[in-house]
Amino acid sequence: MLDIKFVRENQELVKENIKKKFQDEKLPLVDEVIQLDSKVRELKLKGDTLRQERNTTSDEIGILFKQKKTDEANLKKEQVIKINEQLNKIENEENNLLSELKEKMMIIPQIIDDSVPIGKDDSENVELERFGDPVIPDYEIPYHADICNALNGLDKDSAGRTSGNGFYYLMGDIARVHSAMISYARDFMIDKGFTYCIPPFMIRSDVVNGVMSFAEMENMMYKIENEDLYLIGTSEHSMIGKFKGQIVKEEDLPITLTSYSPCFRKEVGAHGLEERGLYRVHQFEKQEMVVLCKKEDAMDWYNKMWSYTVEFFRSLDVPVRTLECCSGDLADLKVKSCDVEAWSPRQQKYFEVGSCSTLGDAQARRLSIRAKGENGNYLLATLNNTVLASPRGLIAFLENNYQKDGSIKIPKALQPYMGGKEKIEKK
């Protein structure tokens, strides 16, 4: 959410930013919030004038009573009553307008970084760099569900009976390597100096509204019936919510956290759910990284964070590339974002395994997260990035480490988490 003062002083820039995101239907919002802001400020001025008048009159009442001028004092008291009635009416109107103003302000997208490529949708995202050679072996790589089934590692039929489409049982060595990857991702980030955290897996609606747009919430999140609670779609939501309404000590910055959680998503949209596979499912596990820092340090952290994900996957012998999200593919709270995509030797193309974003002060403004500095309090920048989301990361691992005999090679980095195993093979 933008600062209304910024919108007031940069109306054309805000409109141009909306156009860059190909959301022209939101252009009228700028004029609407300017009008609402003007009315709010006018009411505030009236209210301040009336409060000053009330204070002056109240002082006069005290003096008149001391002077035994009871009738005059009582007339003044009636004036105060009328002033309070006016104030009450003004304050109610002001609160209603502020509520309407906030609602519209939350729809206006964040100002994107100048470096973001302009494009309508994800088809116009831009490849930045490749890491590792995308190998196409001289033998066939089966579909990942078939790899898992051959190793007795996947049961979607039973999950369909217990939970429906979009759920799964992982079994045996496949379940073990899934957990090993999560544990390795945890320790990988701890070694980078991040503090490990396991957050709540449910959050209240005020936190949801603070970390994401309404459209994202509707398409992603499961609501707990008869409770003001939502299952998290990513631990970033809980982790940013941890600082809601807090004033952080400047000397504690930057705050660098890595969090584990199960994640739950409706996956509403055109992509649908996979009948056989694990690429698009209702639940998964994730190791996330979250940073809170000064706004001027955000871009440095952004570049560090996505590079950690690249390093993690390369240590598992998975070739990856970075893909910059264009303006039309950026969620409204994001300033800049890139995806890390893993090579699929089966499909001979890359697919998304993680996303890194800097959100400027959008989440901090919505949740009132500040730092205390020498010159007063200021809003922080928030960033988030996927270290590993599995089973999607598991798919990349299986395909790139699949051997001709049907076994799965275990890279050295992962072997300590697999009891020293060097490969997974049919029993």
Write out pLDDT tens, residues 162-176.
999 999 999 999 999
Amino acid identity for residue 200 in this structure: P
Based on the fold, state whether residues 93 and 127 are members of the same structural domain.
no
Position 269 pLDDT exceeds 60: no
Does one domain contain both 171 and 270?
A: yes
Read off the pLDDT of residues 386-405 as tens digits, 9 standing for 90 and up.
999 999 999 999 999 999 99
pTM: 0.91
Per-residue confidence (pLDDT) for residue 292, from 0 to 100 = 98
Task: Give 3-state DSSP helix, strand, coil % of the chain, rounded to 5.
Answer: 45, 20, 35
Question: Across residues 151-161, what is the average pLDDT?
Answer: 95
**Domain match, 148 and 54 both:** no
Q: Which of 80, 105, 130 is the last residue of a domain?
A: 105
**176 and 325 co-located in one domain:** yes
Q: Is 350 exposed, middle or buried (0-12, 13-18, 19+ CB in 10 A)?
A: buried
By percentage, how much of the chain surpasses pLDDT 90?
Answer: 89
B/e letters for 169-207, b = 16+ CB within 10 Å, e = fewer, are ebbebbebbbebbbbbbbebbeebebeebebbbbbeeeb
H-helix or E-strand containing 257?
strand 255-264
CB atoms under 10 Å from CB of 66, counted, come to: 9
- Give the per-residue pLDDT at 83: 93
Kindly indicate the confidence band of residue 220, based on its pLDDT and cuts at 50, 70 and 90.
confident
Residue with tokens 């919510």: 241
Give residue 11's pLDDT band: very low, low, confident or very high (50, 70, 90): very high
Q: How far apart are CA 19 and CA 327, in angstroms?
A: 10
Q: Is the residue at 111 inside a domain? A: no
Please report, for the domain that includes residue 42, its CATH number: 1.10.287.40
Query: How many domains does the chain fold into?
Result: 2
User: Does residue 266 share a domain with residue 166?
Assistant: yes
- Would you state the pLDDT for residue 217? 76
Q: Give the chain's count of helices (H) and strands (E).
A: 13, 17
Give the integer Cα–Cα distance in Å for 48 and 54: 10
271 is a domain residue: yes
Q: Is the residue at 71 inside a domain?
A: yes
Average pLDDT over residues 318-322: 98
Instruction: Provide the pLDDT for residue 427.
Output: 75
Q: What is the pLDDT of residue 271?
A: 54
Q: Indicate whether 270 pLDDT > 70.
A: no
Asked, for residue 301, whether it belongs to a domain, the answer is yes
- Percent of the chain residues topping a pLDDT of 70: 98
- Around Cβ 369, how many Cβ atoms within 10 Å? 24
393 occurs within a structural domain: yes
- Tell me, yes or no, whether 286 lies in a domain: yes
97 and 129, same domain (yes or no): no
- Rounded-to-integer distance, Cα 28 and Cα 15, Å: 9
Domain containing residue 343: 122-424
- Same domain membership, residue 149 and residue 72: no
Average pLDDT of the residues in 211-220: 78
